[in-house]
A and B are shown apart, each in its own frame.
Chain A
């Protein structure tokens, strides 16, 4: 599991970590029961704040995505392939296609993001 964080983004870092770990779990990049890297290792590898990593792990535990066994570390919890994860996998494909199409048209990352936010607020606003 290769974690990458955009520190300058407006998206909170712990949220980014959570999303990436959840995505890894849902796509099977990490399997059920597999041990996640320690908070310390993640913080060291990314040269980032361990408290933030800890927060991400805490929230993931609260959501039931991982379980923290005292003394051993964090492990991926048993995940039922429920409708949500299937839906997420499907939607991911759609987003991937849209992003690729936008990139082909020459849009940059901030521009793609802006388009996404606009469409999202248009839909949720109505």
Chain B
């Protein structure tokens, strides 16, 4: 029943992002109604890159948005206590804290994965030059793994901060990583943000092993840290 509770906590967030994505997906259908067309002079490939970057933004947004709430609270309760009082009821149940964290995080991760898949499918199959199914699956795998780092980081932030701060600090961390990857070559080499991108690592090109492996390790590390925090926390 913990899965059921997690679903009830996150369903509107999931619906909101899924709705946004499906709305974007349907653009070719509704754009003509508003007489929207590609501006002249913009090539197909430039348009596609813009759509692709937007989809990466949506992966990140989904990961951050779905990781918040549930671990610490449903909504911010008060500045001082930092957790929703219904947490006391949850903690009185015969469930280990580790299980509480992993069910909640697990469902959010699953939801994030689904949303990444939707958006990835949308952008990849619109790519000028076409994409085969195996190529799509390879991209999907690395996009999911890299997005999971953002998800794990957001989960860790959710264990420490209240909802509003978790949301903003998640984005701040991504922006910081983005800026760093242009300045520090190590960060650039390992960056999950680049791992998600078809601009840095195009289809048909070499598989970005460095970002993928660093993402797996980072995800594991961040989730482990989250678990330690949740286990030690005092309510």
A–B touch (CB < 8 A): the answer is: no
Interface residues of A (CB under 8 A from B): none
